[in-house]
A and B are shown apart, each in its own frame.
Chain A
């Protein structure tokens, strides 16, 4: 059994690690610091941590201003409040002027669980990837979280990094290298390709084991880099396996599935099955219950792969 790490915990540790290396890093939160783990950074560097209380729009504006004066601001809150709630501030105060602001959010998707629809960001990948100059990353595990954060801190420009609340098994080891715009291949297979991000990477691995028992061998690509997206890997997968199954903890409207479909429809049309949340809001429940209810788990991926292969 792989070690279990929540991406938000990896984030908390990474902030301290890179905070020591980069004195220009400052961390901003809006009254969620104990949950997002930015409190760990605050304990270490209190003079570089700023709590805005419950005023996310203003926090994003401060980050923009701080970045024009050479700071590297990391803005943190829950995904629902760090995307849609402040969409226009991110668009005009951060992305339009291409400022060096890192928006790193936690508690994304329905796996936030019992808090229900108001706190479940299932539209944020869509909102963030449409913004010019924005880079969007959804890490699959704790190790990739740290690598992606390092990449974001060391690169110039706006980033949106989407993390979760749950503990997840580690997919990668310390030797893993994060490359922006490149999908990593987690499993080779000839019958179909699953392209997944976030906690759905782990669900895809589980699904591949079930499928293998049925004689179906799938390729798994980790699409942590949602924008820019790895066009080559998508086209190659369509060519070599004939069908793509996308898997994301997000609405099927505008997320990873849409991004993959955009590449395929304009380059090499191929059948695509999308595993994601339908056109609906979330609700309260345990994370496991919700992943099952919205058909975004290993069982749903297995079904989608079989359905997809039938369309080849």
Chain B
């Protein structure tokens, strides 16, 4: 009996170690986001930090992909429809080995492979160029449709923003993905409740957002977008859902992980100063 108890203890310890490892990875991504935006003195920290746990979990725990072969035909696809949050995307790609981590310090610089918004012609690992809101989700749907036509097993993931959800094209895409029964498509709404001009609710309310996606024919889930366990569980449900695309509405905090950025609209598109960078990094140790 004692041995079995010991084994259980060890299993729990392994689980805990794994959990800590995933949380540590997300922290590392957050540190890189702060460093690269501070170095560029330009970029969007708030929305990058809010979706960090989602994109880190996708690339490290969920998606089939290969840094050695970024255009591998069978890979799962990812589209960052809210393209301005690309610092999080770039940090994850670098940690996966798509390009050297040192490259992150060239963000937004002349001739860089890391453009201000994702450009799939120049950045290894980026499946689709985005930046103008509302467009990426349609392209993700197109990738999912191609997978259906060719009876491929790959899945398509897309992250959209809450402010982005005000674009009409998002709802055209929503209607069509349900119409074509794209159950190989899994979308996340990074619901951090803030956009450039203020609170989403006050600028142009998107509520009741879960009901909207449900009404458009999607399988809908609502989770804490900073819980790695909940992200993995939700994607598992999406994977098992037949004939419907899945929308995971993820409640997040803009600027998550850095006390003076959390819930602050001022850090939507403003780089931290060098002092703020140091403070943020010390909080993220």
Contact = CB atoms under 8 A, between A and B. Distances in A.
Partners in one complex: yes
Interface of A: 26, 47-48, 50, 52-53, 55, 57-58, 60-71, 73, 88-89, 92-93, 96-98
Contacts of A62: 138-139, 141-142, 145, 176
A88 to B, nearest CB: 6
Nearest to A60: B138
Contacts of B135: 57, 61, 88-89, 92-93
B128 A65 contact: yes
Given A57-B168, A58-B176, A62-B176, 12 more contacts: A26-B149, A50-B145, A52-B176, A53-B176, A60-B138, A61-B136, A62-B141, A68-B143, A68-B146, A69-B143, A69-B147, A88-B132
Contacts of A55: 172, 175-176
B53 interface: no
Interface string B120-135: 1100000111011011
A35 to B, nearest CB: 21
A65 B146 contact: yes
A93 B145 contact: no
A92 B146 contact: no
A98 B175 contact: no
Nearest to B137: A61
Contacts of A67: 142
A73 B134 CA distance: 20
A71 B146 contact: yes
B145 A58 contact: no
B146 to A, nearest CB: 3
Query: Looking at chain B, what size class is its interface with the partner chain?
Result: 20 to 34
B166 interface: no
* Residue of A53, A65, A97 contacting most chain B CB atoms (<10 Å): A65
A245 B218 CA distance: 57
A66 B145 contact: yes
Contacts of B180: 50
B173 interface: yes
16 contacts: A55-B175, A57-B138, A58-B176, A62-B141, A62-B142, A64-B128, A65-B79, A65-B141, A68-B128, A68-B143, A69-B150, A70-B73, A71-B146, A92-B129, A96-B119, A98-B121
Contacts of B139: 61-62, 64-65, 68, 93
- 10 closest Cβ contacts across the A-B interface? A65-B142, A61-B138, A69-B146, A58-B172, A65-B139, A62-B142, A55-B172, A97-B129, A65-B143, A66-B142
A53 B134 CA distance: 18
A235 B182 CA distance: 53
Contacts of B147: 69
A312 B135 CA distance: 51
* Residue of A58, A66, A67, A69 contacting most chain B CB atoms (<10 Å): A58
B113 to A, nearest CB: 14
A92 B132 contact: yes
Contacts of B55: none
Contacts of A96: 119, 129
B271 interface: no
A97 B149 contact: no
* Residue of A50, A55, A68 contacting most chain B CB atoms (<10 Å): A68
A10 to B, nearest CB: 27
Nearest to B138: A61
B140 interface: yes
Contacts of B119: 96-97
B106 interface: no
B151 to A, nearest CB: 11
B146 A63 contact: no
A57 B172 contact: yes
A53 B138 CA distance: 14
B42 interface: no
B169 interface: yes
Contacts of A66: 142-143, 145-146
B145 A65 contact: yes
A61 B131 contact: no
A67 B119 CA distance: 16
Contact of B169 (A58, A68, A73): A58
Nearest to A101: B142
A97 B142 contact: no
B245 to A, nearest CB: 13
B173 A61 contact: yes
